[in-house]
Amino acid sequence: MREFAYEAVTDPEGAVALVAADPDACFLAGGTNLVDHLKLGVASPRRVVDVSRLPLASIVAGDDGVRIGANARNSDVALHPRVQADLTVLSRALLAGASPQIRNQATTAGNLLQRTRCVYFQDVTTACNKRAPGSGCSAREGYGHHNAVLGGSESCVAVYPGDMAVALTALDATVVVLGPDGERRVPVEELHRLPGDRPDRDTTLAHGELIVGVEVPWLPDGSRSAYHKVRDRAAFAFALASVAGVLRLDGGAVTELRLAWGGVAHKPWRARQAEEALIGRPLDEASVHAAVDLELAAAAAGPANAYKLALLRNVTWLVLRDLAGEGAR
Amino acid sequence: MSSVGSPLLRVDGQQKVTGEATYTMDHHTADPLHGWLVQSTVAKGRVTAVHADRALEHGGVVSVIDHTNAPRLADTDDLELAVLQGDRVRFRGQVVACVLAETPEAARHGAELVRVEYDEEAADVAFREAAATLRPDELDPDNDADTMQGDVEAALADAAHVVDQTYRTPFEHNNPMEPHATLAHWHGDPDSDEGHVLTVCTSTQSVHGVAASLARILGIDAGKIRVVASYVGGGFGSKGLPHCHDAVAVLAARTTGGRPVKLAVTRQQMFALTGYRTATIQRVRLGADQDGRLTAIDHRSLEQTSTSKQFVEESALVTRSMYAAGSRRTSHRVALLDVAVPSWMRAPGEMPGAYALESAMDELAVVLGIDPVELRIRNDTQTDPESGKPFSSRRLVECLRLGAERFGWSRRDARPGASRDGDWLVGLGMAAASYPANVFPGNRATVRALEPGRFVVEIGAVDIGTGAWTVLGQIAAAALGAEPDDVEMRIGDTSYPKASVAGGSSGTASWGTAITSAVAAFRKEHGDDPHPGDETTADAERSSDLEHYATHSYGAHFVEARVHRLTGEVRVPRMLGVFSAGRVVNPVTARSQFIGAMTMGLSAALLEESWRDPRYGHVVTQDLATYHVAAHADVRDLEAVWLDEDDFRVTPMGARGIGEIGIVGSPAAVANAVHHATGIRIRDLPITPDKLLARFDG
Amino acid sequence: MGARLQIEIGLTVDGAERRLLVDTRSTLLDALRDRLGVTSPKKGCDHGQCGSCTVLLDGRRHLTCLTLAAAADGREVVTAAGIGPDHGRGGLHPVQQAFLRHDALQCGYCTPGQVCSAVGMLAEAAAEEVTLDDAEIRERMSGNLCRCGAYVNILAALRDVARSEGTG
Ligand SMILES: Cc1cc2nc3c(=O)[nH]c(=O)nc-3n(C[C@H](O)[C@H](O)[C@H](O)COP(=O)(O)OP(=O)(O)OC[C@H]3O[C@@H](n4cnc5c(N)ncnc54)[C@H](O)[C@@H]3O)c2cc1C
Ligand code: FES
Ligand code: FES
């Protein structure tokens, strides 16, 4: 772990100014990802700017939706009464992530910006284009259990590992970002990017841009949401694949549908083609499978990760079936 | 023997629940230097240069020790321990340097700054069937690689029913919760000073074993080394023998002018440096007559070991005494690879071996249409098939019957895939287990009288979480006719008499025998009214019956598995183990050992796999987020019970070992339950969702 | 080393006020163990993957291995050594007593983390007004690995405590 200067800041603008001006600086929030990376040698900043004490931890439920401060802890968001009652998918996704201890310290912004868990990314003695651009991708021909099946590139097949962002993608949330020139709003779907030939860049944020909050609109009346995560261990494990779904049925036909998949791509994957195929139609296993297959037409999988295709097919059906069943009740 | 058999609570419990128990890195030492290991990034070759300049410039770094400047060892035959003695790299992750610094932060960063150059050679690191051709007895003559009785091929050809399948088990890492660590302090000159000159605190299953190994490589008398392990955070075999970090710490501490060195192995480094269970490829062929009586058993295991040190996992051993059959063959072949050194992991050999054998037995039961419990009962034997010796006690059938009754086995519908609960497919499976009752030689104990009625008993044993501290006190108290509270039990230090390793389920039996012998000798010498200070040290008296009987513990595992038909996830809501393990000295700590090992068996069945990258040569799933061990949510209703019995042919306490039997057979029971739930037979562990999904229809 | 690379912090540890100068790279776990001699929290993985280093930080369960010491300035740390009445001087916490009664430990290395985590869990459950049935306890304790496999006994211990506290 390289030496670094530590500074705790008290105003957001000051934090942005410090980091934007120094290419070797980075933000620190709960530390559960950054401190991990400092020890592994994956991150080696010269300056660490602690934003965890900025007054950005509030969770405010308004008429249009809920505004979650960047520093709101994962556990606090998950247990917020309005989130639990009306944004089930978000609460469930958060509670399916990590461990209670980690959720107590992890922040909303830090969670969004957590980096891939690809084993080669975390092992500095191996080649990885995301960590060391140009060094090669060890995962393509190596340990492929978690590799992306959608949107991967020649240079990177890492997946975005988080759960919360998958839920936020299905909820059409917006990330509020503060930069040197003021605030801007980024749809969460546009926050993370596909690797292309720049896998070192996880997101569309510029260096020094600070996430200050996330705005989540309420669901349309009559819609329900759910999150289902499949993992190798019964708890405390990253997703093999996960599905976030929002559904409304009217007279047996799908009138509102949003689907986001986790653990299968370099970003939370909004399955828009599958959504479109199902809108206006009755929900049954065959049509859901067909819709998923449409979305998966562009998928690329090898022997180690082909199971993810079956999982997406099955779990998307499981989530929608259960949501439809709940609606019927 | 009143206190033997009573449910005494752990004597060290209070220290453990408060965290005041001192594991190696918890020991306070004045003015230590902190070490950090630098590992090779090639799998084979030579170190051509170690550039330490940048590390040495970093604030707090004191020195960098590599093969050019490390003190020389007297004996370098054990290549795992002969660290920093030459430029040869034999596996990726091998220690090539050690940084010493004033703080752990500086040491860690210093290690990152050391730049090592290599002359890399092509390495052979992939375990392939075709490469496993070496007979292990060519490596270790004490070890029978092959056994053969009768004509297996002919018997198989004549058999009414044959099962012929290949089973695979993965590389697995012990991963005790406490990472290996060593604190070494030279406080004297071995050539001139009397008494201890070197004190080593290390997380080990054998303080005397570490002292003997270090003495050998250092070329000094073991009496000059004091090894202490007051608390050990688990080992599961990985702390049974000293590993390279012990040698590094001792060498590094030689260079500091008397300052102690603290060296912690990181969790990631453990995957290369502190042992692991080799992967196996096992072909099992069973031949049976119409009634399900075995006529032929053939169990051949292919494995790998390292060029640095040749440890062989004896996977077919369990098959040599498990069931009767006229014709039988077992064999082991290994591949010699440029990889990290494999070693003991809980029930080495028996664990993967029983997975293969007991899966094959389940397959045979299906072929025959016989209940799997009944199939095992039919093939029970009261004479060890291989040696012809009688068993000191073999009550496998009772374990099977009791387990079946308690588990509600009779309600099981024999057809696979017949039971479903919503999206969950439900199945019941079982397997049998055996593990040898080891009593190791080389144990002695000291008994000393304090004020009337009170005693001190000393033995250089180690409690790695087994409850040995408590249990040995009970054995001593019983032998002395005292209350456990009146006996102060001292262990975990080579200052106490010689004791064998806490491994092979041998601890209670071997150490307990020594204590019993020492008490008898003490009484003989000092009578029933000893004076304070009266003391006797005596060797364990080995039961002569051990030569005349085959001695094993037995068990039967019963498992309910639920498999999600859409996700392939497996859950195990119920697991029961019934054991015959001789006299249970302490039901509280014994039950913890049984359920702990069963939990590890469940974990191996569903989760554990170390994935070695064939291009790099090291395990890339090298942490606890990518090498999954069972978490709390994976373990549901899990229970262990045992037969009320004693086996005085093995030990004077009537006890046999209990530490490992719980992990033997339990993975097979899970696999068999998964088959019963789904009709899908997974023949390679672990049974993960991807494998089941690939086999689901549609 | 420039002055900025070290930082002075204050902590309350098991009731005692402590001030110390730390390397900015130092984790709270290392600061507690190596600098303050508070070795109750253990290092099992150093990467947030095992729970052995769990303490209560300002009353909530927290991993000290992924917390920079500098970032913990001014906070209150409670370890398993100080979790009992009167900062541990007045005996054991009910969770600790239940662990002993049910032999919810073997090697004991994960145990201080389990104890802190359990105390945190009980407080969380009380605040959320949820009933701690077996499934809830298992899920909520899954951030603490126990390689010795003491889970069923840990469950029994916590079931006991939850019942007597009225949360089970
Ligand atoms: C063992 C383990 C298991 C886990 N399992 C899961 C899981 O199953 N599911 C899951 O979703 N997650 C999981 N996680 C990841 C965890 O959720 C993240 O580490 C956590 O959410 C990160 O939040 P933090 O506040 O600690 O971020 P930090 O580590 O402080 O920061 C993470 C990144 O975000 C940047 N950052 C922080 N705040 C801001 C801001 N306001 N603006 C801009 N940049 C910022 C930092 O510079 C850094 O790059 C796991 C983590 C561990 C260690
Ligand atoms: S040491 Fe902190 S979680 Fe493992
Ligand atoms: S008691 Fe040993 S790891 Fe839990």
Rounded distance, CA B424 to CA B6, Å?
Answer: 42
Out of B313, B350, B609, B660, which one is annotated catalytic?
A: B660
Domain co-membership, B379 together with B300: yes
Domain co-membership, C56 together with C114: no
Residue C127 lies in a domain: yes
What total of structural domains would you count in chain B? 3
Look at residue C167 and tell me whether its pLDDT is greater than 90.
Answer: no
The better pLDDT of the pair A327, A174 is held by A174
> Is there a contact between A232 and B633 if contact means CB atoms under 8 Å apart?
no
Rounded distance, CA A12 to CA B436, Å?
Answer: 66
What total of structural domains would you count in chain C? 2
Domain co-membership, C103 together with C160: yes
A vs B: CB pairs below 8 A: 93
DSSP B354-386: HHHHHHHHHHHHHHHT--HHHHHHHT--SB-TT
pLDDT on residue C161: 98
> Is there a contact between A230 and B569 if contact means CB atoms under 8 Å apart?
yes
> Is there a contact between B593 and C106 if contact means CB atoms under 8 Å apart?
yes
Residue B23 lies in a domain: no
Q: Which domain holds residue C66?
A: 6-82
Rounded distance, CA B115 to CA B522, Å?
Answer: 60
Q: Is B621 on the interface with A (CB under 8 A)?
A: yes
Q: Which residues of C touch A100 (CB under 8 A)?
A: 61, 117, 120-121, 124, 140, 142-143
Look at residue B698 and tell me whether its pLDDT is greater than 70.
Answer: no
pLDDT on residue B2: 59
Q: Which ligand is nearest to the CA of A93?
A: 1
pLDDT on residue B200: 98
Domain co-membership, B284 together with B389: yes
Residue A198 main-chain phi, psi, to 5 deg = -125, 60
Residue B17 lies in a domain: no
Tokens of A254: 């799908």
Residue B218 lies in a domain: yes
Q: Among C82, C105, C127, give the residue marking a domain's end.
A: C82
Chain B, residues 50-69, CB within 8 A of chain A, namely: 59
Residue C46 lies in a domain: yes
Domain co-membership, C18 together with C65: yes
Mean pLDDT of B56-65: 97
pLDDT on residue C166: 80
DSSP A15-51: HHHHHHT-TTEEEESS-TTHHHHHHHTS---SEEEE-
Label the pairing between strands B570-580 and B637-642: parallel
Residue B9 lies in a domain: no
pLDDT on residue A327: 62
Share of chain B above pLDDT 90, in %: 97
Domain co-membership, B417 together with B474: no
pLDDT on residue B453: 95
Q: Which residues of B touch A293 (CB under 8 A)?
A: none
pLDDT on residue B141: 74
> Is there a contact between A6 and C66 if contact means CB atoms under 8 Å apart?
no
Residue B137 main-chain phi, psi, to 5 deg = -75, -10
C5/chain B closest Cα distance in angstroms: 11
* pLDDT band (50, 70, 90) for residue C2: very low
Kindly list the domain boundaries of chain A, sorted by start residue: 224-324
Task: Find the CATH number of the domain harbouring B481.
Answer: 3.30.365.10
Look at residue B15 and tell me whether its pLDDT is greater than 70.
Answer: yes
Residue of B569, B620, B694 with shortest CB distance to A143: B620
ipTM exceeding 0.85, yes/no: yes
Q: Can you tell me which atom of ligand 1 is nearest the CA of A210?
A: 42
Residue of A79, A99, A104 with shortest CB distance to C142: A99
* pLDDT band (50, 70, 90) for residue B1: very low
Domain co-membership, C29 together with C57: yes
Chains linked to A by 3 or more Cβ pairs within 8 Å = B, C
Task: Find the CATH number of the domain harbouring C69.
Answer: 3.10.20.30
Domain co-membership, B36 together with B84: yes
> Is there a contact between C67 and A35 if contact means CB atoms under 8 Å apart?
yes
Domain co-membership, B260 together with B331: no
Tokens of B504: 């092979």
Establish whether residue A257 lines the binding site of ligand 1, counting it when its CB lies within 6 angstroms of any ligand atom.
no
B369/chain C closest Cα distance in angstroms: 35
Sequence-distant contacts of A237-241: CB under 8 A, at least 24 apart: A237/B625, A237/B628, A237/B631, A238/A117, A238/A146, A238/A161, A238/A263, A238/B625, A239/A96, A239/A161, A239/A163, A239/A263, A240/A146, A240/A307, A240/A308, A240/A311, A240/B689, A240/B690, A241/A308, A241/A311, A241/A312, A241/A315
Q: Which residues of B touch A234 (CB under 8 A)?
A: 569, 571, 631, 633-634
Rounded distance, CA B4 to CA C76, Å?
Answer: 45
C87/chain B closest Cα distance in angstroms: 11
Mean pLDDT of B399-404: 98
Residue of A nearest to C4 (CA): A5
| Interval B609-624: pLDDT, tens | 999 999 999 999 999 9
B435 Cβ contact list (under 8 Å, min separation 6): B318, B347, B350, B505, B552, B553, B555, B657, B660, B661, B664
A103-117, B113-127, C153-167: the lowest-pLDDT one: C153-167
Look at residue A328 and tell me whether its pLDDT is greater than 60.
Answer: no
Residue C75 lies in a domain: yes
Q: Among B234, B255, B273, give the residue marking a domain's end.
A: B273
Closest among B600, B659, B687 to B466, alpha carbons compared = B659
Residue B326 lies in a domain: yes
Residue of B176, B233, B632 with shortest CB distance to C151: B632
Concerning whether B20 is annotated as a catalytic residue, the answer is no
Domain co-membership, B450 together with B519: yes
Rounded distance, CA A275 to CA A286, Å?
Answer: 14
Average pLDDT value for chain B: 97
In a mutational test of the A interface, the residue from B102, B606, B637, B693 whose CB has the highest number of chain A CBs within 10 Å is B693
Mean pLDDT of A238-265: 97
pLDDT on residue B144: 86
Q: Among B225, B257, B273, give the residue marking a domain's end.
A: B273
Mean pLDDT of C5-17: 97
State in Å: Cα B33 to ligand 3 middle: 29
Domain co-membership, B558 together with B514: no
Residue C1 lies in a domain: no
Domain co-membership, C10 together with C78: yes
Q: Among C60, C82, C104, give the residue marking a domain's end.
A: C82
CB count in 10 Å sphere of residue B641: 15
Q: Among C82, C116, C138, give the residue marking a domain's end.
A: C82
* Sole residue written with tokens 């296993």: A285
Task: Find the CATH number of the domain harbouring C129.
Answer: 1.10.150.120
Look at residue A42 and tell me whether its pLDDT is greater than 70.
Answer: yes
Residue C87 lies in a domain: no
Domain co-membership, B510 together with B577: no
> Is there a contact between C147 and B175 if contact means CB atoms under 8 Å apart?
yes
Domain co-membership, C34 together with C55: yes
Full-model pTM: 0.98
**DSSP structure class, residue A229:** E
State in Å: Cα A74 to ligand 1 middle: 10
Residue of A nearest to C53 (CA): A101
If DSSP codes are grouped into helix, strand and coil, which group holds residue A150?
Answer: strand
Look at residue A285 and tell me whether its pLDDT is greater than 60.
Answer: yes
State in Å: Cα C111 to ligand 3 middle: 6
Domain co-membership, C42 together with C110: no
Mean pLDDT of C43-59: 98
Name the CATH superfamily housing domain A224-324. CO dehydrogenase flavoprotein, C-terminal domain (3.30.390.50)
pLDDT on residue C4: 72
pLDDT on residue B590: 97
Whether B98 contacts B296, CB under 8 Å: no
Domain co-membership, B229 together with B302: no
Domain co-membership, C56 together with C11: yes
Mean pLDDT of B228-253: 98
Tokens of B672: 């068999």
Q: Which domain holds residue B99?
A: 28-121+175-273
Cα separations in angstroms, A20 against A180, A200, B558 = 7, 18, 61
Tokens of B173: 């890492």
Domain co-membership, C15 together with C65: yes
Rounded distance, CA C27 to CA A264, Å?
Answer: 33
Residue C89 lies in a domain: no
Domain co-membership, C100 together with C76: no
Residue C88 lies in a domain: no
> Is there a contact between B634 and A310 if contact means CB atoms under 8 Å apart?
no
SS (H, E, C) B445-481: EEEEECCCCCEEEECCCCCCCCCHHHHHHHHHHHHHC
Chain C, residues 19-38, CB within 8 A of chain B, namely: 23, 25-26, 30, 33-34, 37
Q: Among B525, B542, B559, give the residue marking a domain's end.
A: B542
* Sole residue written with tokens 């260096």: A207
